[in-house]
Structure 1
Amino acid sequence: MTPNASSAPSRRSFLASSAVAAAAVAGGMPLLAACGDSNSGSRDGTTSGKDAKKILPAYVAGNVVVPDIPARNGSAVGFTGKLELSALKTSVPKPLGKGGKVTIMSPFWGSPPKSDNAYYKAMNDVIGVDVQWQNQDGNTYEQKLGAVLASSDVPDVVVVPGWNMNGKIPTAIISKFADLGPYLSGDKVKEFPNLAAIPTDAWQRSIFGGKLRGLPMPSPWAPSIVPLYRQDIFDEEGYEVPKSCDEFMALAKDITNAKARRWACMDMKWTAFQAFGVLSGSEKPLGWNMADGKLIYRIETEEYLEALEWSRKLFEAGVVHPDSKMGKNAPDPGPKFAKGEFLIYPNNISQWWSRTAEQAVSNPDFKIWGMDVWGHDGGNPAMWAEQPAGIFAFVNEKASESVVREVLAVANVTAAPYGTKEYMMTNYGVEGTHYTVKDGVPTKTDQGNLEVLNAYVMVASPAATIAHPDFPDVAKGQVEWQQRMGAFTKKSAFYGMQITEPSRYTNLSNDFEQLEDDIVRGRKKISDMQQAVSDWKSKGGDKLRDWYKQILDENGSAAN
């Protein structure tokens, strides 16, 4: 077990990158437009420009630990050395907690540990707060969340992942949770140095209803979907990484030998969207941008159709592994990728490390690496930034000042940077009990695997971090890939804004992903997509455009 490939564990970082987190608010008011009293219905609040500056915490870069690779172009920070426990720094010299009790409801994947386990006890001692966990099944969390927020019995802290902000949950966030601005805005955050070191973009994403309500889990805004490939086989066969879509097609035909059970790739649609410069599909607001004086949605662009057509041609040419024809129901690609049945597939950057770790012992010659995304015509790619935070913790509006301060004491520990004692405690637990270190590589014990799971990291996290003491070359490769691709990445109009679409538009775009897959696999035609876009416009797309344009007119654009 190594430190996570980002500030969030890989399971969640993958979910965050692939889930559509935008959702509905009854009545059609965007979250960023409500201000003042949360129930006032006022429309003069914003999450951008000078009004946001009054709300946002001051940014004070941490100086306790210096990363080996600083963040650049929206990347994570990187650490490429072995872990030396004797060299760990202290970022919280004394507990800020006053011994009070705080209840936290959070999603949990797996079997929650007993409430009095050694990890929880050790963390609470470091923080100075008695945290009581109310863990809920992450797979059904949204239903539980809705029920709790509709009741009068709301815990002190509630964690809400972006992909669960559906139905009435966004409006409940505004009405049920506290404004943290009085404790964190401006220089006030300096009382909590690890929170002050969280990037400003992540805090901006934490403004709901015109007020700073969330404690964020930061993410890199550089692209997270990487065309992963078998570098060992490429080197052995003399294949070269392609630099255009035509070169990719030629390479794919060269690689493919169906009789020998080798195909070039899996479905390359996600990479095609990057190569052709298609606006992001990871969250609905990110799919909108200004072009030639008009606000357009990603499905209306020529680039979108061109990316689908190129992806379709790959299937038509027979270079795509047969499993990909099953679409979403295709099995885990890992085993067949390891066997060399296909050599390229696009996926979340976290798989760069996880595939490496899987094969390290049984397949020592195995080497996975990330291709740089190419521009479709051989030029530079034109990619779009992802949101800088996707999971948030909120404090009950009815919480007393003492409880709010206890929560911030928790967050100041969980947001400690990599290389500190607090980070190791948060992510690994107690040395000897929950993990051991050999040759600079921490490994969780059986007890650690049972107890040190998606808990405290959900309250707040440090700036996105990549650190793999077992495979430092992979950590370096991941961060440098983000930095190279981040140089070709732009922020679209609604980047960093916390926006929720009106309920009447909630399902308007739901069928496009399935239609994309049908077109790519030859079951539908490009003309079917053109008709679907026309229908989308008449069924509400044009009105939704006007709704987004009003937000843009009132708040300005984040585009650069």
Structure 2
Amino acid sequence: MSSRNLNRRGFLGAAGAAGLTVAGAGALTACSTGGGAAGGGGAEASAKLKLPTYVAAGVPAPDLPGNADGLDPAYVRYPKDLVRSVAAAPGDGKPVTVLTETFTTAAPAMNRNAYWQELNKRLGSELRMTIVNGLGADDVYRAKFNATIAGGDMHDLMWFPPNQGLKNVPALLQAKFHDLTPYLSGDAVKKYPNLANIPDFAWRTAVLGGKIWGVAVPYGRMGQVYVANEDFWKPVGGVRFDSAQDFLDKGKELLDTKRKKYVLEPAYTNHLLQFAMWHGLQNKWAMNGGKLTYMFETDEYFAGLEFALKCQEARLFWPDPNLPTTLEKIEGGFLGVHVQSFPGFLDDSNMYDWPAKVIVPFAAEPGMTPSWHFGYGSVGFTAINNTVPKDRIETLLQVMNYLCAPFGSEERLFLDNGLPGTHHSRSKDGDVVLNTKGNAEVLTTRQAITFFGNSPQTLYLPGKPDVTRGVHATEVELMKIAKADASAGYFSDTYADKGPSSSDELYQSVKDIIAGRKPLSSYKKEILPKWRRAAGDAMRREYEKAMEKGAGK
């Protein structure tokens, strides 16, 4: 994680990118589910589309390498010899308007924000952001987005999040936004070197109906992780487990209800997903025997549910289901493990005063092969409103090219940290440290920027080189067993309309089973069939149809 990373826990609530209590699949991604005007040629065209040519940025070599599959490059110190990735101010002197979101304290207004004012100078255009604050409400951005579309007062750049339930997306893009395929497909993207540095898995989220509709906003591809306090587990030999039963036995040994010392935070469905990965759970949708199945329908998911029940019967879960202080309890030695988004784990690694360790999924039983789940690798895409004159499209793409400058560039140093002296200073080891003004202006303003334009994730934890190395080593191990969602790159209207709500209803019922309010038998008899009727079967049909037409994609 570079110092640029936003409050990713907040983002997960909006985008669901492998977020806690994973809600569905699909999202605003690639192929249309059909042809016709809205589909623009549908999946057949997507199969023929040339994604933007990937050209790695020419930045100082990282201390630990990344790769195009999602392994993040790592720097144990901030690089010294930075490159310049943009030759001149990209703007044309006219304002650039943007609709975006944030999940942190509101940024100071432009006229009171030295960082924002300096950014305008470096862009050569005033960046006028309408920043929707998503704190406290799941649908606030969707409401603002829909109202903006309905009112017709469109922004030049509009951020499409990956799963906030926006509906009729293919038709909306056709009617209201520029097709950017001619500007970004294949080698055309090389005109914008920082955009060419964005990996394929991120660009796929900006494709519908065989066309590229926006600039992909890259995001770390790592999904959920199981984070343990190593000190908690020392009495039983540390954070090592030979099987699910071994985990259960060691948890029972450490349980001490008199001292209010439990093992698991009370997030039942998040733990269930981890347990199911020990059994080899697929990542959301998977093609099995020519037919799509969802993870809810698998034996592995049910095995995870059965094991979660065993943990509840053993009283390993914290008894209050509304625990608000999970990290504090773990730090104090009163909890042994919790589930966290990987990006959230990176953020907190800057602050941990206790030895945190990720439990890489292990085999639930001898002979099994565990799994681990990739996230989207994208925060959606940023589209250009089609009332923008065509002769201005390249200017806006050059502005985006600046905002997507890579770690190791002069532009990224400024974007992440503002002005030296004013917003940040350097430690004796060369690490970049934000001051009070930097925290007030840069942190708050850049979060809104990184939602609609960003560079691929880089691991950089200031002043913590050993932790950075450990995080990178964990990524290497996770990627050995990582699985991707087969629906990534395809669009489902049913998912956009009913996917998250139907999954949330299933999760609530699963919580009732683990809490003892419903019998285990109700999962297969009632809960799963209800999910299939509500959305699952329709999503399956739509994804299968898109995949059939887009074979060879």
TM over 0.5: yes
Residue in structure 2 matching 1:291, options 274, 279, 288: 288
2:457 alignment partner in structure 1 = 464
Distance 1:349 1:545, change over 3 A: closer
Answering whether residue 358 of structure 2 is matched by residue 370 of structure 1, we say yes
TM-score (norm. length: structure 2): 0.88
Q: Percent identity?
A: 25
Distance 1:23 1:220 in 2: 17
1:337 alignment partner in structure 2 = 330
SS of residue in 2 equivalent to 1:159: strand
Distance 2:230 2:165 in 1: 39
Encode CA deviations 1:501-522: one digit per residue, 9 max, x unaligned.
3677555444111112122222
2:279 alignment partner in structure 1 = 276
Aligned-residue offset at 1:87? 2.6
Residues 164-183 of structure 1 correspond to what in structure 2 (within 5 A)? 164-167=164-167, 171-183=171-183
Answering whether residue 493 of structure 2 is matched by residue 497 of structure 1, we say no
Aligned-residue offset at 1:171? 4.3
Distance 1:107 1:467 in 2: 24
The question of whether the paired residues in 2 share the 8 Å contact of 1:305 and 1:526 is answered with no
The question of whether the paired residues in 1 share the 8 Å contact of 2:76 and 2:469 is answered with no
Answering whether residue 52 of structure 2 is matched by residue 57 of structure 1, we say yes
The question of whether the paired residues in 1 share the 8 Å contact of 2:31 and 2:489 is answered with no
Moved over 6 A (4+): none
Distance 2:184 2:543 in 1: 30
Distance 1:456 1:382 in 2: 34
Distance 1:500 1:276, change over 3 A: farther
Task: Letter of the 1:512 partner, please give it.
Answer: L
SS of residue in 2 equivalent to 1:553: helix
Answering whether residue 345 of structure 2 is matched by residue 346 of structure 1, we say no
Moved more, 57-66 or 72-81: 72-81
1:284 alignment partner in structure 2 = none
Answering whether residue 318 of structure 2 is matched by residue 321 of structure 1, we say yes
Structure 2: state its 5+ residue gaps.
none
Task: Letter of the 2:62 partner, please give it.
Answer: P
2:404 alignment partner in structure 1 = 415
Distance 1:69 1:257, change over 3 A: same
Moved more, 504-513 or 409-418: 504-513
Residues 47-86 of structure 1 correspond to what in structure 2 (within 5 A)? 50-53=47-50, 56-72=51-67, 74-83=69-78, 86=80
Distance 1:2 1:46, change over 3 A: closer
2:250 alignment partner in structure 1 = 251
SS of residue in 1 equivalent to 2:18: helix
The question of whether the paired residues in 2 share the 8 Å contact of 1:427 and 1:457 is answered with no
SS of residue in 2 equivalent to 1:358: coil
Distance 1:164 1:367 in 2: 35
The question of whether the paired residues in 2 share the 8 Å contact of 1:22 and 1:166 is answered with no
Encode CA deviations 1:428-456: one digit per residue, 9 max, x unaligned.
11111122222333222222222222133
Moved more, 506-515 or 115-124: 506-515
Distance 2:303 2:63 in 1: 40
Aligned-residue offset at 1:98? 3.0
1:390 alignment partner in structure 2 = 379
1:216 alignment partner in structure 2 = 216
Answering whether residue 194 of structure 2 is matched by residue 199 of structure 1, we say no
Distance 2:534 2:397 in 1: 45
Distance 1:308 1:21 in 2: 18
1:451 alignment partner in structure 2 = 441
How many residues are aligned here?
531
Encode CA deviations 1:198-236: one digit per residue, 9 max, x unaligned.
1012111111343211212213434x2111111234346
Distance 1:403 1:43 in 2: 24
Distance 1:232 1:320, change over 3 A: same
Distance 1:22 1:534 in 2: 18
Answering whether residue 413 of structure 2 is matched by residue 424 of structure 1, we say yes
The question of whether the paired residues in 2 share the 8 Å contact of 1:89 and 1:420 is answered with yes
The question of whether the paired residues in 1 share the 8 Å contact of 2:31 and 2:490 is answered with no
1:123 alignment partner in structure 2 = 119
Aligned-residue offset at 1:498? 4.4
Aligned-residue offset at 1:245? 0.8
Distance 1:103 1:538 in 2: 42
Distance 1:296 1:94, change over 3 A: same
SS of residue in 2 equivalent to 1:136: strand
Residue in structure 1 matching 2:9, options 1, 8, 11: 11
The question of whether the paired residues in 2 share the 8 Å contact of 1:386 and 1:495 is answered with no
Distance 1:176 1:229 in 2: 47
TM-score (norm. length: structure 1): 0.87
Encode CA deviations 1:13-64: one digit per residue, 9 max, x unaligned.
5433326476899xxx9962467xxx824573228864122xx211111122
Aligned-residue offset at 1:460? 2.0
Distance 1:459 1:240 in 2: 38
Task: Letter of the 1:535 partner, please give it.
Answer: K
Aligned-residue offset at 1:193? 0.6
Task: Letter of the 1:486 partner, please give it.
Answer: M
2:259 alignment partner in structure 1 = 260
Distance 2:221 2:435 in 1: 33
The question of whether the paired residues in 2 share the 8 Å contact of 1:77 and 1:464 is answered with yes
1:283 alignment partner in structure 2 = none
Distance 1:340 1:105, change over 3 A: same
Structure 1: state its 5+ residue gaps.
281-286, 361-365
The question of whether the paired residues in 2 share the 8 Å contact of 1:253 and 1:319 is answered with yes
SS of residue in 2 equivalent to 1:465: coil
Distance 1:384 1:357, change over 3 A: closer
1:399 alignment partner in structure 2 = 388
Distance 1:505 1:343, change over 3 A: closer
The question of whether the paired residues in 2 share the 8 Å contact of 1:239 and 1:251 is answered with no
Distance 1:343 1:292 in 2: 40
SS of residue in 1 equivalent to 2:521: helix
Moved more, 385-394 or 494-503: 494-503
Moved more, 375-384 or 113-122: 375-384
Encode CA deviations 1:328-374: one digit per residue, 9 max, x unaligned.
x43130111111001111211234344444344xxxxx211111111
Distance 1:49 1:354, change over 3 A: closer
Distance 1:498 1:215 in 2: 18
SS of residue in 1 equivalent to 2:336: strand
Residues 303-318 of structure 1 correspond to what in structure 2 (within 5 A)? 303-318=300-315
Task: Letter of the 1:191 partner, please give it.
Answer: K
Moved more, 368-377 or 62-71: 62-71
The question of whether the paired residues in 1 share the 8 Å contact of 2:56 and 2:196 is answered with yes
Task: Letter of the 2:224 partner, please give it.
Answer: I
Distance 2:538 2:493 in 1: 15
Distance 1:75 1:479, change over 3 A: farther
Distance 1:114 1:438 in 2: 29
Distance 1:354 1:238, change over 3 A: same
Distance 1:399 1:190 in 2: 23
